[in-house]
Amino acid sequence: MTIRYPNGKKYVPAQRSARVNKKNLSFSNRGKTLEDELNETNEYYLSNNEAVIHKKPVPIQIVHVKYPARSAAVITEAYFRSPSTTDYNGVWKGKYIDFEAKETKNTTSFPLQNIHDHQVEHMKKVTEQAGIAFLLVKFTVLDRYFIIPYEYFEKKWERMIAGGRKSITLSEMEEISIEIKAGFNPRLDYLAALDSFLKPAFEETIERQENL
Amino acid sequence: MTIRYPNGKKYVPAQRSARVNKKNLSFSNRGKTLEDELNETNEYYLSNNEAVIHKKPVPIQIVHVKYPARSAAVITEAYFRSPSTTDYNGVWKGKYIDFEAKETKNTTSFPLQNIHDHQVEHMKKVTEQAGIAFLLVKFTVLDRYFIIPYEYFEKKWERMIAGGRKSITLSEMEEISIEIKAGFNPRLDYLAALDSFLKPAFEETIERQENL
């Protein structure tokens, strides 16, 4: 029995160089994980002075460390902890950006069990502080990407809490989010999407900022 | 020979409960680490809806993970990586906050070797994106705390690069930073300091935000 912990996925170390992976040489780049795509995008933003957005390291509880002579310290016992925040945050044109990125193999809906309670709580708090919080969801089989502003996502989350459905259907997704297309460089231009399409979604947030 | 890696400090796991540590029961709280003090402060800000600021997890390169039957995954080989950003970031009244916190046992100056190149580069990029970046330095022996806006710190860093002194003297520190006092709750009210005293320091940053 393999225990998948804490996010239901087996840990797979990041590839040292995505460039040498044959799959990634294909035009569609379908083999790339969402994390790879976002890392590339964030590197592009950083080197073009468009934004400073980083993925947070995976939270680890370190239990034992060895300090061998003449070589680097080795962690010999540690455990994965549940994240208490989202994975990505940073600054873009003076605005605080905060999001969680999730992939699903599902083709008809996005299962909400992919998101932790405390991550939702975190996005709510960020929104209250006039930060821009959203979810970025990739339907890997469909090769489709959606950005859902937190304030829209919250309604579906509350529906689940109230006993309703435990997922967001694809057609609901099309309604409450902005679909973005993967491109070459930047790979996933999510900031452009925020800039041009999501202004109405963040109107309340912007108003809140003015009143703080 | 003990290798101290990568920040020159031996890894010491965080105490599970600071409250049971006798040292911390003293009035002065001198036994607390700066990290403990900032965690307490950030928890205070969070629960009072004043800001959402978290410490980032320590970056780790995971090499080997075991998945024992019926229990949690165990990381059995991993290494510390150098951080590519600062330790703390978050949002406060719509503003992006980003800082590095450092302790020194030195009593006359703050050694710049405590800061990594890429952390300075990161703070520079944050400042360019109209985020608020600063250094929070604790002189543990003196029990004194200073907040240095990045734009002031940068001048001392550049002096070092140009071949000048490798530290900021205490009297320079008093000039270019705001001293804050440790209190009860919040323990280290650094946002209040930013709010009331540092406006002139961030004037350029605010202007930059308006022009972005």
* Range A91-103 average pLDDT: 95
DSSP 8-state assignment for residue B71: S
Give pLDDT tens digits for A150-189.
Answer: 999 999 999 999 999 999 999 999 999 999 999 988 999 9
Task: Please provide the average confidence, as pLDDT, over all residues in chain A.
Answer: 85
Return the axis-axis angle of helices B150-161 and B117-128, rounded to nearest 10°: 140
Do the beta carbons of residue B138 and residue B144 sit within 8 Å? Answer: yes
Identify the band that residue A193 occupies on the pLDDT scale cut at 50, 70 and 90. Answer: confident
Q: How far is A64 from chain B (nearest CA, A)?
A: 9
Report whether B100 belongs to an annotated binding site: yes
CA distance A23 to chain B (A): 23
Work out the average pLDDT over A194-206: 65
- Distance between CA A181 and CA A145 in Å, rounded? 7
Which of the four pLDDT bands, split at 50, 70 and 90, describes residue A29?
Answer: low
CB within 8 Å: A73 and B49: no
Domain A26-56+84-211 falls under CATH 2.60.40.10? no
Taken as a whole, chain A contains a residue count of 212
* Candidates 3.40.1350.10, 1.25.40.10, 3.40.50.720, 3.90.550.10; CATH matching B25-211: 3.40.1350.10
Place of tokens 């003293």: B26
The pLDDT score that the predictor gives to residue A186 is 94
Q: Which of B102, B74, B109 is nearest to B86 (CA)?
A: B102
ipTM score of complex: 0.81
Give residue B65's identity as a one-letter amino acid code: V
For residue A209, the 8-state DSSP code is H
Average pLDDT over residues A110-115: 94
For testing contact with chain A, the best of B54, B96, B207 (most A CBs within 10 A): B96
Give me the mean pLDDT over the A12-21 stretch.
43
Calpha distance A109→A151 (Å, rounded): 19
Average pLDDT over residues A23-42: 74
Contact call for residues A129 and B51 (beta carbons, < 8 A): yes
Are B102 and B114 a contacting pair, CB within 8 Å? Answer: yes
- Compute CA distances B72 → A5, A6, A10, B16, B159, whole Å: 7, 8, 11, 20, 50
pLDDT at A144 over 80: yes
In sequence order, which residues have a C-beta less than 8 Å from that of residue B175 and are 6 or more positions away?
none
Place of tokens 């994390």: A35
* Domain locations in chain A as residue ranges: 26-56+84-211
